[in-house]
Chain A
Amino acid sequence: MPTSLALATQAILEPACLDDKHLEQIMGGLLSRQVDYADIYFQSSKVESWVLEDGIIKEGNFNIEKGAGLRAVSGEKTGFAYIDEIEMPSLLEAANTACAIARAGQHKSQPISNQTVSPNLYQPINPLGTMEQSQKIELLRSLDAQARKQDPRVSQVIVSLVAVHDTVLIYSNSGHLSSDVRPLVRVNVSVIVEDKGRREQGSSGGGARTGLDYFLEQDRALGFARKAVQQALVNLEAVSAPAGMMPVVLGSGWPGVLLHEAVGHGLEGDFNRKGTSAFSGRMGEKVASDLCTVVDDGTLENRRGSLNIDDEGIASENTVLIENGILKGYMQDTMNARLMKTRSTGNGRRESYAHLPMPRMTNTYMLAGQSDPEEIIRSVDKGLFAVNFGGGQVDITSGKFVFSASEAYLIEKGKITHPVKGATLVGDGPEVMTQISMVGNDLELDSGVGVCGKEGQSVPVGVGQPTLKIDNLTVGGTDA
């Protein structure tokens, strides 16, 4: 198989008739003033998506995004310009525009050195071509059929399939030319069930950085269809969620979105450099219970949040954020690392060439503990067991976070009893981490569905955790 660099050159530079000499000339333009750091980010992205609804293949879409972003950094100042057409005159003009932020002066550019040491956490394939179109259609239809045969109360099924073929080429003023070919596939099934006039929804899905045949392995996609129906049926039986403070047990896997919101964002380098995070200046302090060790790991094979290299060409790492309750590390990109006098942890990410990179999470999860998950449930007299969530949000300054359960149950006298609906959890990030009193031995990562938004930019991420118990958390239901 060709290397990602060969593929990136072929996809991006060759059609524009650009070679190393041209790249050095553009970099020369970016360095025509006193800049500390500069890079050129080339991207070619193709996305294909299909939607089945009402039993028919209703939508199909093919999207091409191609362009280059040019950045010059001087101290805390960043100049940025991007273009949709990859051609020399536009690139040179953008270089000129971007570096105008810096004082006059000149930096010498380094000759290009190819950085080919990047790991192979996923294959540099084009997932759009890993299945015939007719097979993709067949897959959608089989999921529709699977969902409908689960239960006669299923009234609506929507199935979507998305394949992304993203190729990036990054050239920085150090002279390094690095590249990555990032496949990403995703399937989602959402259903509506109807019974005696009451309607509820359920959804399930997953994905990875691999080809589409992933969904056929181990009955995976059919499992999403079954799970979506099951979740909707549970909600059909659900009673109003309780309101007030109570112990909350979070299930393993996707509920790790709590960590993402409650602590993850607060440990991103930019917020801490600026002193705007509730975790600012707390390095080395106890910020969570002893049971908590949290990492951000971009090096897991084929995971949705994984990256061979980040969007600044730095290899992904497994960064320990919190170890046995002690704050150990922040997630850094190049600029924030330089200003905080540390090194990048390979967390510099951007939505596309038309956006500036910033410190972002990859796969963020808590390591397994000692407790048997059943023992955790048994320990609760009256509380909530939340196994699935819609989404969450955090105010990194005040530390307050919110997230909404899409599947949750009451725990009464150590037993799971009724399903409840409309439960929203609200708390304080630093505070909630100290309230974790039991951590299960059942670490699980999510099925590959996470999208993280920050300052208007979306990137794919992973989350995960074992089953865990929070002694006291506010549950916002209607049943006061």
Chain B
Amino acid sequence: MPEKLEQLKQVVEDILSQARSQGASAAEAGVSATNGIATTVRLGETETIEHNSDNGMGITVYFGQRKGSASTTDLSPEAIKQTVEAACHIARFTTDDPYSGLANAEEMLAEQPDLDLYHPWDITVDQAIDLALACETAALETDSRIQNSEGASLNTARGFHVYGNSHGFLGAYPSTRHSLSCSVLAQDGNSMQRDYWYDTSRLPEQLATPESIGKKTAERTLARLNPRKLKTRTVPVIFRSDVAPSLLRSFINAIRGSSLYRKSTFMLDKLGQQVFPEHITISENPLLAQGLGSSAYDSDGVATRARKIVENGILNSYVLDAYSSRKLGMANTGNAGGVRNLSISQSDKTFDDLLREMQTGLVVTEMMGQGVNPVTGDYSRGAAGFWVENGEIQYPVDEITIAGNLRDMFSMLSFTGNDTDNPGSIKTGSWLVEKMTIAGD
């Protein structure tokens, strides 16, 4: 493992020196190599065994304020040479941009902490298949209405990542990621439904058991059978915790530097203002040990840090990188490449408490389509879920849309639940939003 990182570090240093000798005034390069296996079983039989091996190198060169970029999957010396030359050639045709360039030297990560992201799984293909089989079998055996399957998959991958730039910064770390997923179909009369579940982790021993994933897959699928449509109306809506991350992603997109300098967001000029109710705090924790989104430096090499993006409902800071912070005349927040390990504050209410709080309304468990307008915040998406009356789930619903405006949805977020145990790098409970428009019959 250390040899691989050392080898990639050498590649990055070579690339940077080639850029220098081509006359670039500054340069940055990233190299990564990942490999792993992905196995899928279906209806008790092996379906695919994939051996993955992905290499990639990307370089950006600066000639003063002009820049050029190039990338390759071929890491042979010849291909690397061509790629550096291509980036330099591109830079002859771009325009001087006063805001372009590397991040400021003093913002580079000084010392790299060990975030404990590397836990390889020495598993044979046969063992991987057995785990996937156990998962699918658990799903198939749950109920006689589970009659078909799209299969279960076990994936494991290890990766080595190096980034360096001409400030002399050179960051490197290894990481692993393992996941187990399942998807089955349930049939009851004319109604056929499909759903899935999964878990993913840096550590193999932290994955949920195959049986629990299979069983949860089956339960989620069965619950969708025989859905009804709803009449068009305005009601409160609960976004179940497995779909709520999508709302947080829409929020982050709206406060991203590029959306702000393009004035292409409904969150323009909202810094210091109340955008969520007072009980909401949204945090980023990039240095979380073993975290799925963790990294000590961003893709500009800037040190990342834990911070509160929203505190007591007030927008504390935007999501900026070197370029957008310069362009907006603000401090860099170390978010080149996105936000890392996002979480939202939670109340002490369980999911069932939220149902009782809502009394009558819709639980959304799936959203479809791209009906989010980032400029205006207008939100209109296809949805499936459950109808709730007297604080209890009554029946599944689908073929409806939910519509509103993200600005209103954020400010009408009455409660977030404590059901935050979903896989993934975003931690959120379910959201109870005061009202949205449902379109149906």
Contacts and interface: CB of A to CB of B under 8 A. Distances in A.
Interface of A: 50, 53, 56-67, 76-85, 94, 97-98, 100-101, 133-134, 136-137, 155-156, 158, 192, 194, 199-201, 241, 243-245, 274-276, 278, 354, 356, 390-395, 397-398, 400-404, 421-424, 426-428, 474-480
A94 B371 CA distance: 43
Contact of B47 (A61, A78, A133, A479): A78
A424 B404 CA distance: 12
Nearest to A198: B376
A480 B380 CA distance: 13
B273 interface: no
Contacts of A50: 93
A354 B36 CA distance: 13
B52 interface: yes
Contacts of A94: 51
B437 interface: yes
Contacts of A476: 371, 380-382, 400-403, 437, 439
A476 B362 CA distance: 15
Given A395-B368, A422-B373, A424-B369, A81 B95 contact: no
A83 to B, nearest CB: 6
A159 to B, nearest CB: 13
A85 B47 contact: no
A85 to B, nearest CB: 6
Given A400-B398, A476-B382, A478-B404, A64 B72 contact: yes
Given A404-B369, A422-B403, A398 B193 contact: yes
A402 B371 contact: yes
Given A57-B95, A100-B49, A276-B148, A477 B371 contact: no
7 contacts: A60-B67, A60-B68, A76-B47, A81-B51, A400-B368, A426-B382, A476-B439
A397 B229 CA distance: 17
Given A199-B263, A200-B375, A404-B370, A60 B51 contact: no
B273 to A, nearest CB: 16
Interface in B248-307: 262-264
Looking at chain B, what size class is its interface with the partner chain? 35 or more
Given A475-B439, A477-B439, A78 B72 contact: no
Nearest to B51: A81
Contact of B375 (A78, A199, A390, A478): A199
Contacts of B87: 62
Contacts of B413: none
Interface string B61-99: 000000111111111100100110011011111111100
A59 B73 CA distance: 20
Given A66-B73, A82-B53, A395-B194, A58 B95 contact: yes
Contact of A423 (B46, B262, B380): B380
Contacts of B399: 400, 426-428, 474
B41 to A, nearest CB: 10
B4 interface: no
Nearest to A65: B73
Interface of B: 42, 45-55, 67-76, 79, 82-83, 86-87, 89-97, 100, 125, 148, 150, 185, 192-194, 224, 227, 229, 232-234, 262-264, 368-371, 373, 375-376, 378-382, 384, 398-405, 437-441
Contacts of A98: 51
B401 A62 contact: no
Nearest to B82: A64
Contacts of A57: 93-95
B380 to A, nearest CB: 4
A76 B82 CA distance: 41
Given A56-B95, A395-B368, A477-B437, 10 more contacts: A58-B95, A59-B67, A82-B51, A84-B54, A274-B148, A398-B227, A400-B399, A404-B370, A424-B381, A474-B399
Contacts of A422: 371, 373, 376, 378-380, 403
Contacts of A244: 232, 439-441
A296 to B, nearest CB: 23
A391 B438 CA distance: 20
A82 B264 contact: no
Contacts of A53: 262
B403 A243 contact: yes
Contacts of B375: 192, 199-201
Given A156-B264, A402-B401, A62 B49 contact: no
A77 B437 contact: no
